[in-house]
């Protein structure tokens, strides 16, 4: 297995673990727990700035990942 393929599998496993944790949290709400959406809503009621901070975090990550992206053959690649 090439190192590049191994990293793809590691990232895939990480993303699947995150998805599984969200699924488990939602399933817990069937037994009287609080859903993720309800938790976020309640958090935003008590701390309205969290909406802005979450937007900054997601925007910052988008800029970090895709700002300098240049496909092969593009002008910026040189």
Query: What pLDDT shows up at residue 27?
Result: 83
CA distance 59 to 70: 19
Q: How many domains does the chain have?
A: 1
CA distances from 31 to 13, 19, 42 (A): 28, 20, 19
Q: Give the residue numbers spanning the domain of 58.
A: 3-66
* Residue 74 located in a structural domain: no
Q: Is residue 78 part of a domain?
A: no
Residue 54 within a domain: yes
In angstroms, the CA 13 to CA 32 distance is: 29
For residues 23, 24, 29, 34, the Cα torsion angle rounded to the nearest 10 degrees is -90
| Within a domain: 12 | yes
Residue 19 pLDDT class (50, 70, 90 cuts): very high
In a domain, 72, yes or no: no
pLDDT in tens, 23-59: 887 887 777 777 778 888 999 999 999 999 999 999 9
- Confirm whether 71 is domain-assigned: no
């Amino acid at each position: 297995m090439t190192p590049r393929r191994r990293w793809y599998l590691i990232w895939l496993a990480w993303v699947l673990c995150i998805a599984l944790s969200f699924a488990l949290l939602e399933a817990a709400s069937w037994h009287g727990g609080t859903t993720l959406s309800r938790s976020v809503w309640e958090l935003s009621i008590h701390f309205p700035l969290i909406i802005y901070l979450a937007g900054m975090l997601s925007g910052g990550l988008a800029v970090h990942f895709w700002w300098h992206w240049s496909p092969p053959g593009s002008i910026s690649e040189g």
